A and B are shown apart, each in its own frame.
Chain A
Amino acid sequence: MANTSILVIGGGFAGMTAALEAAELGHEVYIVEKSPYLGGRVMQLNKYFPKLCPPSCGLEIQYQRIKNNPLVKFFTLAEVAKVEGSKGNYTVTVRVRPRHTAPNSVDLSAVAKGLSGETASEFEFGLARRKGLYLDVPFAFPQRYVVDTACLTDADKSALSACPHVDLAEEERLIPLQVGAIVVATGWQPYDVTRLTNLGAGTVKNCISNMQMERLASPYGPTQGKILRPSDGRAPKKVAFVQCAGSRDENHLSFCSYICCMASLKQAQYVREQYPDADVTVFYIDLRTPGRYESFAEKVLADPKIHAVKGKVAAVAQDKAGDDVWVTVEDAVTGAKSVERFDLVVLATGMQPSLAAQKLPLDVTVDEEGFIVNGEDQGIFVAGCAKQPLDVMKTAQSATAAAMKAIQTVRGR
């Protein structure tokens, strides 16, 4: 008889939604999440579409549903190491990296504060530092600290050895699972700005990515929600958004990431809400406002201090004397090429599927960009941005769809 359990790879919005939909219909579900916490990219946002809720709004409900549903089991710091068998009868080996902290939600903040080793926080996209023992995610789920042994100094190690809630000797575990279907919800990563050589390649001090902007605007972020220039902590007066930074470009990501135009308009609003004097310019190729987002765009662009200019920024450079940023662009409507100075420049980088960089031990095909293109006949279903770039709303829809198909597979219909 076929196994009725379902494996969900990825614990972001798509993965959690797919898992809950299946579990709430009576299926045992396993979520395998690579990072220490669930929530994925949505956790890193300040507000998200369509209703501009803070991430806590949607995620805390999901976390509650997971907590209350014994059919959902999840592994963090975990990856799928091996998949054997076929549709209906998969044996999956999950590799769980050690967390080194006790399974109860002990508050280790005092211990963490005492450590000396530091590294850039991945969660904050390098805008903040974290210790070797950390919990850098707001309303984290699971609410547990994690140890990054690579970041510990010798003094840190001896300090942690003395702590009863930390076990530095904990080892990696391999866990076998039996499942009938697999949902792949591996999501996306921001496109690597260091590859955008003409846009400063990440070396221009006050040229940040759109995801960094989300962290700057987040009340849980490195600046407690004040949008400040990374170089000097000054409030920006003139901000530029560079659309399609590495998107719709055959040298980078050949596709449109669907939501970056809206994200920039949303972020323009963050800036304008905080700074009534600030000027914002969005430089675009085509301003893409799918579906009912059109009305949001109209509302934002009605602000006389938010300008939209048709023309792709193709050169970004650091000012020779200060921290300002020079942007070169041609206004394709008026046909004027100009070099303008800005306090802060935000690159609207696109969503690159996570599978572009990391392969799964599954027999599925990805296209040249890293999006999964098949797998359904083998009981493997794709949810969210592993299939195509989506907003959170459509991600949830695709996750529900994937869960329904997975259920049909394991029930044999």
Chain B
Amino acid sequence: MSKTVRIEPNVQFVKELQEVGGDDLKKCYQCATCSVACPMSPADNPYPRKEMVWAQWGLKDKLLNDIDIWLCHNCGTCSDLCPRGAKPGDLLAALRNMTYRKLVPPAIIGEWMSSPKHLPILAGIPAVIFGIVWMIRAAMVGSFFPVTEEGKIVYGNLFPSDFTIDPIFGLTALFVVICFAVGVRNLIEGFKGTVTDTFVIGYKKPTIKEAIIDAIKYEVLQHTRFKDCIDEPADEERVKGHLLLFYGFVACFIVTSIVAVAHWGGKVIPFLAPIGHTPMPLWSPVKILANVGAVLLLTGLTLLTRRRLNLERRKSRSNYYDWYLLGVIWAVTLTGIGSEVFRLAAVAPLAFFTYYLHLVSIFMLIAYLPWSKLGHLVYRTTALIYARYVGRLPIGEKLIEDEKVFVI
């Protein structure tokens, strides 16, 4: 306490934080209930109490380089127990939103993603791109809604993957990967300056490779940390919903990869080509996997959306980042299912229009990924790996029982 620290409060940053979901941060009176209540919070410099005081002072650098905002899985127990309704859980969500907005250039996309008023631009970009493709191709094939001689709908006839879909999404994906690389580098640079190595007896410090494997094996694939975050039935629904959504995406990713590999690989090794030929018959294992993915997505979305709608507003509020992501995934899922159903029903105009919307929504999901809440896929994973690597662990029940909590 005797050490004098010069603090430079950033009032503008406090206001920005309040805008992206930290409205009530000024109510905090630093009782530290939250840090204790949090099942994820470690012994050494626990969160979120310290983030609350940093936020009140507008200590931007500390907050934006803080690993702990990613270790939080937002179960909301801190906000439930908060004696002041300061909503520490929402503040950490707001800080993550701030990171989505500021971590990666170009800053303009971060800006567009931060408020619903820019939604027309975000939707407009893919709408125009795929609209132009549609116009040109319609002129080439002679119809806006081309069907085969048997009256079948083949989307590839209007939007052929070779020179429309794949190049557009390929370039977009490349752009996203580069942006994420920048983001991960920025994150780690930030962590290096702020996170100290913690020595915990009974914890063998992993190599970076082990940390990566373990984080993916436990935290990503099994949601182990997320599961520790359950203290009421609604939390269970949240974890279940997230797992379903996650595996729904995994299924769709596998399907897309198979199609892409078979399609492009088929140009070199001809017998691969039929596997990736679309549309696939309904009995094709790849198609079955795709449909299973769609059902997983729908179920997960329903659980997560229902939970958000039922949130007690006094305790936690959803913000625009939450709704953007849920909305876009809903759009992707519904237009995806719609495309399949209308194709099978052979309603050409409706089918092509739905497919067009599907392309637009997928673009909105992927192209802005590093600036959206889905960016947590990369940022949180990075933080979890880093935390494992430096030994930043929750005070686990196991450790307490064994009386092995010796933090140095």
Contacts and interface: CB of A to CB of B under 8 A. Distances in A.
A304 interface: no
Interface string A243-280: 01000111110000000000000000000000000000
Q: How large is the interface on A (under 10, 10 to 19, 20 to 34, 35 or more residues)?
A: 20 to 34
B401 A320 contact: yes
Contact of A285 (B29, B34, B41, B80): B29
A38 to B, nearest CB: 36
A285 B31 contact: yes
A337 interface: yes
Interface string A281-304: 000011000000000000000000
Interface stretch (B45-53, B138-146, B157-165, B253-261): B45-53
Given A335-B46, A339-B400, A198 B37 contact: yes
A315 interface: yes
A184 interface: no
B328 interface: no
Given A329-B32, A330-B49, A333-B1, A315 B37 contact: yes
A337 B83 contact: no
Contact of B83 (A250, A311, A331): A250
Interface in A329-358: 329-333, 335-339
A335 B31 CA distance: 12
A236 to B, nearest CB: 20
A330 B400 contact: no
A313 B33 CA distance: 7
Nearest to A247: B83
Contacts of B29: 248, 285-286
B81 interface: yes
A251 B315 CA distance: 11
A314 interface: yes
A331 B401 CA distance: 21
B30 interface: yes
Interface in B365-399: 395
Nearest to A327: B36
A405 interface: no
A339 B405 CA distance: 8
Interface string B108-142: 00000000000000000000000000000000000
A251 B83 CA distance: 6
B265 interface: no
A339 B50 contact: no
Given A328-B36, A330-B36, A332-B49, A314 B81 contact: yes
A312 interface: yes
Interface string A189-210: 0000000001000000000000
A369 to B, nearest CB: 14
Contact of B81 (A244, A251, A328): A251
Instruction: Report which residue of B36, B42, B44, B84 has the largest number of chain A beta carbons within 10 angstroms of its beta carbon.
Output: B36
Interface in A92-143: none
B97 interface: no
Nearest to B407: A336
A314 B37 contact: yes
A338 B49 CA distance: 14
Contact of B42 (A312, A315, A332, A337): A337
A249 B42 contact: no
A159 B317 CA distance: 64
A322 B58 CA distance: 46
B43 interface: yes
A75 interface: no
Contact of B395 (A310, A311, A312, A337): A337
B385 to A, nearest CB: 23
A312 B31 contact: yes
Contact of A339 (B32, B42, B80, B395): B395
A315 B401 contact: no
Given A312-B31, A330-B46, A337 B400 contact: no
B35 interface: yes
B68 to A, nearest CB: 12
Interface in B13-44: 29-37, 41-44
Contacts of B327: none
B83 to A, nearest CB: 3
A353 B32 CA distance: 27
Given A314-B37, A315-B37, A330-B35, A335 B50 contact: yes
B85 interface: yes
Interface string B81-108: 1011100000000000000000000000
B43 A336 contact: yes
A285 B33 CA distance: 10
B43 A337 contact: yes
A371 interface: no
Contacts of B34: 314
Contact of B45 (A326, A333, A335): A335
Nearest to A197: B81
Contacts of A312: 31-33, 36, 83
A338 B83 contact: no
B397 to A, nearest CB: 10
Contact of A330 (B32, B81, B401): B32
A248 B83 contact: yes
Contacts of A313: 36
Instruction: Report which residue of A250, A337, A339 has the largest number of chain B beta carbons within 10 angstroms of its beta carbon.
Output: A337
A337 B392 CA distance: 13
Contacts of B50: 335
Nearest to A198: B81
Contact of A338 (B1, B43, B80, B401): B43
Contacts of B33: 312, 314
B85 A250 contact: yes
Contact of A337 (B31, B41, B84): B41
A121 to B, nearest CB: 32
Contact of A336 (B30, B44, B80, B85): B44
B32 A314 contact: yes
B266 to A, nearest CB: 57
Nearest to A253: B83
A53 B84 CA distance: 36
Nearest to A252: B83
Contacts of B44: 335-337
24 contacts: A198-B37, A248-B29, A249-B84, A250-B85, A251-B80, A252-B83, A285-B29, A286-B29, A310-B32, A311-B36, A314-B32, A314-B35, A314-B37, A320-B401, A328-B395, A330-B36, A333-B1, A335-B44, A337-B36, A337-B43, A338-B405, A339-B395, A339-B400, A339-B405
Given A250-B85, A330-B32, 11 more contacts: A198-B81, A248-B31, A249-B83, A314-B32, A314-B37, A330-B36, A335-B46, A336-B46, A337-B36, A338-B405, A339-B405
Interface of B: 1, 29-37, 41-46, 49-50, 80-81, 83-85, 395, 400-401, 405, 407
Interface of A: 198, 244, 248-252, 285-286, 310-315, 320, 326, 328-333, 335-339
Closest 4 CB pairs of A and B: A249-B83, A314-B36, A312-B31, A337-B46
